[in-house]
Amino acid sequence: MKALIIILSLIFAIFAQTTFAATIQDWSINVEINEDRTSEWVVTILYNETVQKADYFVLADLTYMESKVDDVSAACDQAKQQLGTLVTCKKPGRFYYFKFKTGPLIVRNNLNVFKYDFSATEFADKFTVNVKLPLGGALVEKALLAGTGLQPFEPSYGKEGSDGRQIFLEWSLVNPKLGETIPVSIIYEQVNESELFTNFVIVIAIVIALFIISMLYFFGKKGEVKDVLPVLTQPERRVVEILIRDKEVDQRQIVKETEYSKAKVTRIIQDMEARGILEKIRKGRKNIVELKKELKTAKLEPNY
Question: What's the mean pLDDT in 111-131?
Answer: 94
Output the pLDDT for position 220. Answer: 46
What is the CA angle 23-24-30, rounded to 5? 160
Report the mean per-residue pLDDT for the chain: 83
> Do 169 and 244 lie in a common domain?
no
Same structural domain, 188 and 105: yes
In a domain, 15, yes or no: no
* Lowest mean pLDDT across 1-15, 69-83, 169-183, 199-213: 1-15
pTM over 0.85: no
pLDDT-derived band of residue 88, with 50, 70 and 90 as boundaries? very high
Residues β-bridged to residue 189? 138
**Residue 230 and residue 191 share a domain:** no
Residue 86 vs residues 31, 78, 82, 262: alpha-carbon distances, Å: 17, 6, 10, 101
Tally Cβ neighbours within 10 Å of residue 184.
Answer: 20
**187 vs 105: which has the higher pLDDT:** 187
Provide the number of structural domains found in the chain: 2
The answer on 54 and 175 residing in a single domain is yes
Q: With respect to residue 156, please indicate whether it lies within any of the assigned structural domains.
A: yes
Could you tell me what percent of the chain has a pLDDT over 70?
Answer: 80
Distance of CA 70 to CAs 73, 93, 301, Å? Answer: 8, 6, 70
Structural domain boundaries enclosing 277: 225-291
Q: Which amino acid makes up residue 280?
A: K
195, 213, 241 - which closes a domain: 195
- Is residue 273 included in any domain, yes or no? yes
- 144 lies in the same domain as 265: no
- 82, 170: one domain: yes
pLDDT at position 215: 58
Q: So what's the pLDDT on residue 17? A: 43
Are both 44 and 175 inside the same structural domain? yes
User: Rounded to 5, what percent of the chain is helix, strand, coil?
Assistant: 30, 40, 30
